[in-house]
Structure formats: C-alpha cells, structure tokens
C-alpha cells in the first residue's frame, strides 16, 4: 500500500444523493476548492479531498484503493457486495454508517390487476431489474425459479413493452409505479445512504483522519436527530413527565422559585436532550402528563 497523507472520499457527482452528501461533509467542517473539471475537489480545511463520480463507481473505487471512503445508496452497496460474494470474490468495501437520508426501498411490483399472494407467484415469470444480484438472492431464498431481465434504466415500462411480466425496482413515493399502472407487492431491501470504506487499517495519516471524520459524522447524525427539551412541572407529576420524554438522556432537574400554578407543590424545571424528533403529539402527551412552559430547541453541535 503506497503511503498517503491525505484522505479521499467519493460522493455522487449529480443525482439524488449529491446535495445531502456534500451537506453532511460541510457540517463536519470540511471545505473544498473545486477543480476546473469539477471531478476532484481539494480539501482546504483538512487534508481530505473529494471525488465527484457516478454512484455505481464508488464501491469499486474503494476496492481498488482509489479512495478510502464513499457515500452510496445501500441498494448500490448491497447489489455489488452480493454480486461479489455470490462469485466468491471479496467485495473490497464495508458499510460503516447509515446516514439517514436517501431513503427508498427495492421492491417487486406487478401490474395493478394481478394478485401477488406470496413469492411463489413469481414462479416462471420474467422480472425486469437493474439489481440482478439482489433479485436472484431473493428468488433463491424463496425457492422460486424466474427469469431476470437486466435493464439499466426505465425498468418501470418493461411490463407495458412486453419485455417482462413484473419489475424489481427502487420505490420512494410510489408515484412512478402508479403512473405505470403497477403496484408494490414485496419489499426486498429497505435502503438509505451509507458511508462505505475499505475496512483496511492504514499505517499513515489516513488512519487518524478516518477516525476523526467518523467521530464528526456520528456527531452530526446525533445532532440531526436531537432536540433540547425544556419544561416545568410539579414535583408530584415529574415521574409521569420523565416517562413521556422520547429517548431522553439523563435530564437536568432544577428547582423553580415560588409556588406552582396550583399553589400546592413547588415546580421543577427539566432540561433534557431527546434523541428523536419531537412531534406535536409528543408535546401534547407531555402537557397531559403535567408539563407546562414547554420549549423545544435545535441542537447545533454535540461531542460526548
């Protein structure tokens, strides 16, 4: 392995994952100067550079040592690792973190007028997909023999064109399926963007840079899902309110000057970081449990 003192991360150049991937790196404090061809961006704030490429190329680039880390859809990562493993090859990359964006699912879909029942309904059918390895694994696991028709795009029109009976494709809102008179029958994979890496232990600066970046990514993910909740409650009702706080760290509890609204017991102020989104329903539950003066604040940075 040639020693290197800079780390390289590959992200999708343009597409559904580009903006969120670059946003995440910006939140980790990384700033880049883009080159004229816009394929290589030099890291200005840290020795970490960016490669802007097609998402399908990212796992292979990591396996070949072109870069150390990459952001891709789990669908792409799993397709390529399943293909490698079924041919007794080492995929050359590992999934390191789920990133919480780019959610979609890889599903079997069939013409709306047809019934599905179970995977057995696929016996002898022609299924169009861009994910042959994942589809074949699903068919094998369900003991079904079907023909996989591999297409690189526009999979959803295959049944209309008569080139396949059903499809296996990515779905997010489901609008594309409806527009093509198809319905979702079975989910093969729930997917989101993931950070992938070589899994190698580097003997140069890349080891420390990888660790530092992973720590910052963990911090950004935790912050994204965290809110600071502040409220007041009487001591008597405190246990019920604490129970209603969603995924809270150990709360700070302070006494409040003066008698409470009902004049009976003294109020306490509660402050807690909750690792979940706080909906109106959560606030109403807290209020019903006795909380008042509720405040929900965003958390900007977090380092535990």
- Is 251 among the residues that bind ligand PRT (CB under 6 A)? no
**Buried b / exposed e across 135-164, counting CB within 10 Å, b at 16+?**
bbbbbeeeebebebbebeeebbbbbeeeeb
- Is 68 among the residues that bind Zn ion (CB under 5 A)? no
User: To the nearest whole angstrom, how small is the minimum distance from the Cβ of residue 304 to Zn ion?
Assistant: 36
Nearer to Zn ion, 55 or 267 (CB): 55
Q: Which residues pair with 171 in a beta bridge?
A: 105
C-beta separation of 48 from 7 below 8 A? yes
- How many Cβ atoms from other residues are within 10 Å of residue 171's Cβ? 19
Residue whose structure tokens are 């093509």: 180
Q: Which of 17, 28, 55, 165 binds Zn ion (CB under 5 A)?
A: 55
Q: Which residues pair with 127 in a beta bridge?
A: 148, 166
Q: Which of 7, 9, 10, 17 binds ligand PRT (CB under 6 A)?
A: 17
User: To the nearest whole angstrom, how small is the minimum distance from the Cβ of residue 56 to Zn ion?
Assistant: 4
Please state, in angstroms and rounded to a whole number, the distance separating the CA atoms of residues 273 and 271: 7
In the complex, residue closest to ligand PRT by CB: 73
Please state, in angstroms and rounded to a whole number, the distance separating the CA atoms of residues 170 and 81: 18
Q: Please report, as residue ranges, which positions from 156 to 215 form the binding site for ligand PRT (by CB under 6 A).
A: 169-176, 191
Q: Which of 42, 47, 56, 287 binds ligand PRT (CB under 6 A)?
A: 56
For the chain, what is the radius of gyration of the CA atoms?
A: 25
User: To the nearest whole angstrom, how small is the minimum distance from the Cβ of residue 189 to ligand PRT?
Assistant: 10
Q: Which residues bind Zn ion (CB under 5 A)?
A: 55-56
Q: Which residues bind ligand PRT (CB under 6 A)?
A: 12, 15-17, 54-56, 73, 75-76, 102, 104, 169-176, 191
């Amino acid at each position: 392995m040639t020693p290197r003192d800079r780390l390289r991360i590959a992200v999708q150049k343009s597409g559904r994952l580009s903006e969120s991937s670059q946003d995440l790196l910006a939140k980790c404090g990384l700033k880049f100067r883009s080159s004229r061809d816009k394929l290589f961006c030099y890291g200005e704030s840290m020795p970490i550079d960016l490669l802007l490429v097609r998402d399908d190329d990212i796992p292979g680039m990591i396996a070949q040592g072109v870069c150390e880390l990459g952001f891709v859809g789990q669908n792409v990562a799993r397709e390529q690792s399943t293909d490698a493993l079924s041919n007794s090859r080492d995929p050359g990359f590992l999934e390191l973190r789920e990133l919480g964006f780019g959610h979609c699912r890889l599903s079997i879909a069939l013409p709306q007028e047809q019934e599905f029942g179970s995977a057995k309904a696929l016996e002898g059918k022609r299924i169009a997909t861009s994910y042959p390895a994942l589809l074949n694994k699903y068919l094998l696991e369900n003991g079904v023999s079907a023909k996989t028709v591999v297409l690189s795009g526009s999979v959803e029109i295959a049944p209309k064109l008569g080139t396949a009976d059903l499809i296996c494709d990515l779905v997010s809102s489901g609008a594309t399926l409806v527009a093509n008179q198809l319905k979702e029958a079975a989910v093969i994979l729930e997917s989101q963007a993931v950070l992938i890496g070589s899994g190698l232990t580097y003997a140069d600066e890349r080891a420390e840079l990888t660790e530092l970046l992973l720590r910052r990514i963990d911090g950004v993910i935790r912050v994204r899902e965290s809110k600071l909740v502040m409220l007041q409650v009487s001591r008597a009702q405190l246990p019920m309110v604490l129970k209603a706080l969603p995924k809270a760290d150990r709360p700070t509890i302070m006494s409040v000057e003066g008698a409470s609204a009902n004049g009976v017991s003294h109020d306490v102020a509660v402050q807690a970081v909750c690792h979940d989104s706080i909906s109106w329903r959560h606030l109403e539950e807290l209020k019903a449990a006795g909380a008042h003066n509720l405040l929900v604040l965003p958390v900007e940075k977090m380092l535990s």
